Chains A and B, each alone.
Chain A
Amino acid sequence: MSGTQVGLVVSVFIACTVEAVEALTIVLAVGTTRSWRSAMSGVGAALLALAAVTAALGPALTALPIDVLRAVIGGLLLVFGLQWLRKAILRAGGLKPLHDEQAAYARESQAAQGAGAVGEGLDGYAFFVAFKGSFLEGLEVVFIALTFGSNQHDVPLAAAAAAAAVLVVSAIGALLRAPLARVPENAMKFAVGVMLTSFGTFWGGEGVHAHWPGGDAALLAIVPAVLLFALGLVALLRRTAAAAPSPASDAVASA
């Protein structure tokens, strides 16, 4: 397995684990508080919809000329990665609340309990919440797996990494019947942001005819450079947050 293939597998696996953990929390909340059968029907419907999206987009992507594919998909991956990285930096810098699966589970459960009586047969609330949660989180999984896979001309490898992540999270979730709060989700999101940004930069550049010094080996410099830069921004945010006077100390000073 080449270095870029290892990068592909690791990035897709971590990204899909994070998304699967978030989807699991939603499904567990509506399944436990309302109806497991309806929640699982929603998950099944979401999987069918995602399979249809993948079947429609996958062949279209792989049919594109490699330069166009890398420019467009590399660019999209870079935009997507920068959004992930921006949020991760803001979370790590204390400007955005950390993602908390226990809190998300409590919120979803409370909303599910307040959504009226559970209907006979298929419970519409449980079905649609499970469908929406699984579909939206799954769409990110499909996007990441397809962009990584098609750029690397190895969609099956990306799909296998994505499927492995979903299976592992589903199996642990089925065993525990509780949100996976111990998964270091925020650190994983930071890592995914770094990987998406790095691969997006590399492939986007190749797509617009930039010649990276060292070819594929340039990724070995881009990934640590992006990581160090992002960590530097986090350190700067924390330092300025610590140096800024708090509203309480302002009030004391002006009193």
Chain B
Amino acid sequence: MSRLRQFPRFLWDFVIGDDWRIAFAVAVALALTLALSDAGISAWWLLPVVVAVILSISVWEARRARG
């Protein structure tokens, strides 16, 4: 039973990892790109911009946390 309870935790660690904000930013960026693209607005640039911003934030936050 405890192994069953550990499974969601394992799945979270496996996919989401150390920083949940990365998964959140990617999900928001995908949703926004879909909305813009379906509205006829070119949005290919959005995902690379979000990748660059969230990676920088996450790395910098880790640096700050380690002093």
What is the interface of chain A, defined by CB distance below 8 A to chain B?
71, 75-76, 78-80, 82-83, 85-87, 89-90, 93, 95, 139-140, 143, 197, 201, 204-205, 207-213, 218, 222, 225-226, 229-230, 233, 237, 240
For the complex, give the distance between the alpha carbons of A119 and B41 in Å: 67
- Please give the distance in Å from B27's CB to the nearest CB on chain A: 7
Check B62 against A95 for contact (C-beta < 8 Å).
Answer: yes
- A212 and B59 contacting across the interface, CB-CB below 8 Å: no
Assuming A71-B34, A79-B15, A93-B59, what are 12 further A-B pairs, CB within 8 angstroms? A82-B26, A86-B22, A87-B18, A89-B55, A90-B63, A204-B47, A210-B37, A210-B42, A212-B44, A226-B51, A230-B55, A233-B59
B residues in contact (CB < 8 Å) with A: 14-19, 22-23, 26-27, 30-31, 33-34, 37-38, 42-44, 46-48, 51-52, 54-56, 58-59, 62-63, 66
Known: A80-B15, A208-B33, A237-B63. A201 touches B48 (CB 8 A): yes
Min CB–CB distance B44 → chain A (angstroms): 4
Contact of B22 with A79 in the complex, beta carbons under 8 Å = yes
**Chain A residue contacts of B16, Cβ below 8 A:** 79, 83
Which of A143, A204, A218 is most buried by chain B, counting CB atoms within 10 A of its CB?
A204
Across the interface, which residues of A come within 8 angstroms of B56, CB to CB? 233
Query: What residues of chain B lie closer than 8 Å to A201, measured between beta carbons?
Result: 47-48, 51
> Given A82-B22, A82-B55, A210-B33, A95–B63 Cβ distance below 8 Å?
yes
Contacts A197-B51, A213-B44; A83 near B59 (Cβ below 8 A): no
- Distance between B49 CB and nearest chain A CB, rounded to angstroms: 10
Q: Could you list some 21 contacts between A and B, CB below 8 A?
A: A78-B51, A82-B26, A86-B55, A86-B58, A86-B59, A89-B55, A89-B59, A90-B59, A90-B62, A93-B63, A139-B14, A201-B48, A205-B47, A207-B30, A208-B37, A209-B34, A209-B37, A210-B44, A210-B46, A230-B55, A233-B55
Complex Cα distance, B51 from A237, in Å, reads 18
Q: Which residues of A lie under 8 Å from residue B62 when comparing CB positions?
A: 86, 90, 95
Partner of B48, one of A82, A225, A233: A225
B63 to A240, Cβ gap below 8 A? yes
Does B48 contact A208, Cβ atoms closer than 8 Å?
Answer: no
Please give, as numbers and ranges, the residues of chain B lying within 8 Å of A95 by CB-CB distance. 62-63, 66
Q: B63 to chain A: which residues have CB within 8 Å?
A: 90, 93, 95, 237, 240
Pair B33/A82 contact, Cβ less than 8 Å: no
